[in-house]
Amino acid sequence: MTILPESTDQSDSYPQITDIGDSALMVLLGEGVSPLTNSVVHTMVREIQELGWPGIREVVPVYSSFVVHYDPLILSPSALTTLIQNIHGSVSSENTAADRRVILPTIYGGDFGPDLHSVGELTGCSVEEIVNIHSGTDYLVYALGFSPGFPYLGDLDQRLHCPRLDSPRVEVPAGSVAIAETQTGVYPVPSPGGWRLIGRTPVSLFDPLQDAPALLKPGDRLRFMPIESEDDYREIENKCNTGEYEAEVIYL
């Protein structure tokens, strides 16, 4: 996923609504990466989903746009376009704030975060500074993608910006907390990856057996909470495995 320079363009030229095929509309609300634009995206998506209009199959949000998949035998593109425009006209900056903050316990460094020291070398920050900076921010979940439940998190402090690995790993363990360029994220399942691993959470971000398989949803806020020792990590991990642990969710 390519990251464009941040923009806060909320001009009268938006929304831009475009047909993509015969059963989907692309709704563009701005350019680049902007927390305000992304919040408008998620507010509109929620309102469309809550309306439950017949014919709407799925609504998929990303950074500054979303796609509405619909049944053209039930819902016409002109009627859907009017609905989208009306919803956009009712959205304001006052009603676009995130409504959940998810707390994710995370152990940094060692075997859990093998790239932590290389991040220090690249950024000039000490290990302690990296942990304090990384865990001291509420991150906006801009989108889910790449693998099931993988959160693209914005607002990484510029002091931690660093390039991806020159050569991606063949397999990254599930729960790995990583950074690359201007973003941070968490690998929900084992997969290849080229982001720099600085820690790991024992909490599962994706469970296909649950009604809501992904722990996070676009528009959430995520805060990493440092775990002090491997023993503490294993204790939480065991509780997760037995179903005794429930991720802390704060409703804002």
The residues of the chain scoring below 70 in pLDDT are: 1-12, 92-98
pLDDT on residue 11: 54
Residue type, position 189, single letter: V
Per residue in 120-131, pLDDT tens?
999 999 999 999
CATH superfamily name and code, 100-251 = Cyclophilin-like (2.40.100.10)
Instruction: Please give the model's pTM, rounded to 2 decimal places.
Output: 0.78
- Range(s) of the chain covered by CATH 3.30.1360.40: 16-95
pLDDT of the residue at 142: 87
At 228-241, the pLDDT tens digits run 999 999 999 999 99
**pLDDT given at position 206:** 93
Question: What fold characterizes domain 16-95?
Answer: Gyrase A; domain 2 (3.30.1360)
> Can you give the pLDDT at residue 97?
55
Residues of the chain with CATH 2.40.100.10: 100-251
- pLDDT tens for 146-172 read 888 899 887 899 999 999 999 999 999
